[in-house]
Structure formats: C-alpha cells, structure tokens
Structure 1
Amino acid sequence: MNNVHCTFLINSQQVNLGENWIAFSTIDSQTDNSSELQTLFPLSKQVQIASDTVNRGAARLAGIEPPKFEDNETTFGQLIDRIQKTISHLNTFKPEQIDGSEEREITLQMRDNTLSFQGMPFLLYFVLPNLYFHVTTAYDILRHCDVELGKGDFLGQP
C-alpha cells in the first residue's frame, strides 16, 4: 500500500509544479487541440481516474465500500484538493484491513463485462498498472505543455 500512497504523492507534486507554470484551462484545451494528445483524456480526467483507481482499489482490498468523488474539478487547486482527499482516504486504512486480502475475491462490473480477481493479482495487474498509466499520462501532458518536469519530479524523494 505504501507504493500506491507514494505514487499519489508524486502525482500531487507534479500537479503542484504544473500550477506554477501554466494555467489549468490552457493544459486541458491543449490536450483537446493537440494532434499528439487528441486521443487522451485531458489532465483533469487523468488525475480523476488515478484518484478513483487508488481509492477504489484500496477499499476493495479492505472489503469496504469505495468512496465516491464527483469528477467536477476545473482548476489546479481543485485537482490538488482531490489528490489530498485521496491521500487522506489512503491514510485511514490500517494494515490489518489490507493484510490477508491476497486471496480475497474481487469482482468488478465493467461496461461490457465482469472482471474477477483474487486480491494480489487485482493489486499487481489491475490497480497498479492503471494507477501508473494515468499518473504517467498526467506527467506526459504536463511535459507536452512545457512544464519543466524531470525524472526526479516523477520519482519523488526516497
């Protein structure tokens, strides 16, 4: 669970750096208008999906109902608040809620089908790859919009 928490802190750092460089509406409109980024969700949606992925993933591993956040963020400040709410939610989990969930049956209802996992494969092959994909895509969008980010900003501090 610590890796998920650290990854989300890194995403928060990226968004904070982005706020210092460029207006949020400009980044989302550049995502919509850039030929390289037209097939991607905008920055706001990338952060929202990463938030939902980690919130729902942790809750399902703990066997509790996942929180529901509205996807209505329109500013960097609101995205940062969303990330902070996510980190706060992750901080509510106690190790004993997650420990032993390696074989817990987890079923996800998707649009067109149902996915079933045991806990460990759910974390390793669904939650973490989706989280890293959307955090990396948020990073890439910020880089594309000339926000000065480097590998150290992505990796964070040990």
Structure 2
Amino acid sequence: MPISFYDISVGQYLRGLKVVSHLLEVAKAHAAAKNIPLDDLVEWRLIDDMNPFSFQVQYVCVVAETFLKNVAHLEVPEREGNEKTFAELEALVVSTSELLDGIDRASIEGQEEKIASQPETFNKWGQFTGFENLFGSSLPNFYFHLVTAYDILRAKGVEVAKRDYLRPHFADFVKN
C-alpha cells in the first residue's frame, strides 16, 4: 500500500499533537495532586540554559504550522507565540490540531517534489523539496521539541512513561 505525503506529514503532526495534549492532561493532574500552581509548569526546564516547557509546546505547534506554510504553500494565521499560562498552551494545541485537521488532503498531495518556501536564513543551504524539508528539518524539529516537553515533565516528577508517548501514535492503527 502506498503511503501518501499527507499521511507522513499532517498525519504525523496530528498524532504528535495528541501526545502533547495527553502530556498536558497528565501534567495538569500531577499539579493538582501535588498542589503545584499550574502556571508554574510552563517555566519548567531540563537545565537552566534550555528553553522552558512552554517553548517546547509552542514550537511543536510552530513546526507543524510552518510545514503547511512552507511546503503546502497554505495561508496560516500568524501567531505571536507568547503563551504564558498553562491554559493558553492547552488552547494552542487545540487550535493547531483543528487547523491541521481541517487541511484538505489534496492541498498536501503532490507537494513532496515541489520547492518549499523557506526563511532567508536557510537560503545558504540551497533549496529543498517538500520531501527534503519534511524529513530533513520539519519532522526532526517537531519530534525534538515533543520529546523535550516529555522529558521536562518526567524530570520534574510527572508520572509519564513510554506508553504516554507511544499510545497516541499507534492508537489510530489499532483495529479494536
């Protein structure tokens, strides 16, 4: 069975956003159980010189949205990326998921061999097709920040495990 460009891009982003949504639910329950102010979580970091949890969640969303803009050449609403509260992060994940869920497959299919738009700073490396952009930059960045968000929660004592990361990925493929 052939795999579509939509499935390996938008499909992956949607599953990853389900992971983020689940991690936010678990983190919220942890904060309530431990009497931690919910908005304290947004500033949690692995180490001092790394970006906080809020940035990791924001960037997961930015990467997915940027793919739509650069590779599929779709209009994507501009965001400021200044979510400061836990509730704002939750809303961001929901709005990004809704945006991706509303994308027509036809607008993604066929973009894999077309030249992707890119920020001026990337021009020093040349031009990239949609496929090269997806696998050379977009998905690696998406998963880096997704896993970093998971790692921050885990390091701070939130009871998340491998299943919390994997289950949303494979749930779409389980027949029962």
TM-score above 0.5: yes
1:70 positional shift: 2.1
> In structure 2, what is the equivalent of residue 93 of structure 1?
103
Return the alpha-carbon distance in structure 2 between the equivalents of residues 118 and 136 of structure 1.
26
Q: Matched residues, percent identical?
A: 27
1:113 positional shift: 4.4
Listed as ranges, the matches of 1:1-158 within 5 Å are: 1-22=10-31, 23-31=37-45, 36-109=46-119, 112-114=121-123, 116-157=127-168, 158=171
Q: Deviations over 1:15-57 (max 9, x none)?
A: 12111112344334442xxxx5112100001111111100111
Q: Which runs of 5+ in 1 are unaligned?
A: none
Contact 1:21 1:147 in 2 (8 A): yes
> In structure 1, what is the equivalent of residue 6 of structure 2?
none
Return the alpha-carbon distance in structure 2 between the equivalents of residues 28 and 101 of structure 1.
35
TM-score (norm: length of structure 1): 0.88
Return the alpha-carbon distance in structure 2 between the equivalents of residues 75 and 29 of structure 1.
9
Return the alpha-carbon distance in structure 2 between the equivalents of residues 134 and 89 of structure 1.
19
Where 2:48 maps in the other structure, the secondary structure is coil
Q: Which runs of 5+ in 2 are unaligned?
A: 1-9, 32-36, 172-176
Contact 2:43 2:54 in 1 (8 A): no
Output the amino acid matched with 1:142: L
Return the alpha-carbon distance in structure 2 between the equivalents of residues 131 and 30 of structure 1.
19
TM-score (norm: length of structure 2): 0.80
Contact 2:71 2:130 in 1 (8 A): yes
Q: How many residues align?
A: 153
Return the alpha-carbon distance in structure 2 between the equivalents of residues 106 and 146 of structure 1.
40
User: In terms of Rg, which structure is larger?
Assistant: 2
Return the alpha-carbon distance in structure 2 between the equivalents of residues 121 and 4 of structure 1.
16
Q: Deviations over 1:61-84 (max 9, x none)?
A: 221233212222222221111000
Return the alpha-carbon distance in structure 2 between the equivalents of residues 73 and 21 of structure 1.
21
* Aligned CA-pair RMSD: 1.7
Contact 2:54 2:89 in 1 (8 A): yes
**Greater Cα shift, 139-148 or 114-123:** 114-123
Where 2:54 maps in the other structure, the secondary structure is helix
Output the amino acid matched with 1:26: D
Where 1:70 maps in the other structure, the secondary structure is coil
Q: 1:11 to 1:29 in 2, by over 3 A?
A: closer
Output the amino acid matched with 1:74: K
